[in-house]
Amino acid sequence: MSRLLSPSGPEIFTAGWSSSASSDLITLGQFTHKFESHYLVQARGGTPDEAPQAYKERSPVNKADKIKAPLLVLQGSLDAVVPPNQAELIVSNIRKRGGRVEYIVFEGEGHGWRKAENIKTALEKELAFYEDVFGLRR
């Protein structure tokens, strides 16, 4: 799940947020659990060998150089649906370019948060991130 906020239209983003989001569909297919890998094949029109262009075009990591706005990435350390390496690909790419990215890993969590303290922390981090990006004060 990802959200991008823009005060000026769909092509200019002020901030981005990602939670357990895939970034490279080819590696996702190699590391996700069996059920999700079948979904990828169905949604992309075939396997990576059968539809390589679809996987390339639809993998956010291949467009990460276009991410200019600050990005908050939240990830569960035990996520079997979208493993942490997916988040780390985007985070690494943005950091190499000197972009702003905040990366928070919730230890012991999977695809989404189950522990009350992590749900609270995730919401607080997201609020603080937006307050900082938009220059808001509490």
> What domains can you pick out in the chain, each with its CATH number?
2-21+64-134 (3.40.50.1820), 25-58 (no CATH)
Cα–Cα dist 17/4, whole Å: 6
Q: Please give the pLDDT value at position 67.
A: 87
Q: Is the pTM of this model over 0.75?
A: yes
Give the pLDDT score at 6: 47
Give residue 62's pLDDT.
86
User: What was the pLDDT predicted at 126?
Assistant: 96
**From first to last of its 138 residues, what are the pLDDT tens digits of the chain?**
445 544 454 557 788 999 988 877 777 766 665 656 555 656 666 666 677 777 788 788 888 888 889 999 999 999 988 889 999 999 999 999 999 999 999 999 999 999 999 999 999 999 999 999 999 976
- Classified as helix, coil or strand, 79 is coil
How many whole angstroms separate alpha carbon 18 and alpha carbon 126?
Answer: 10
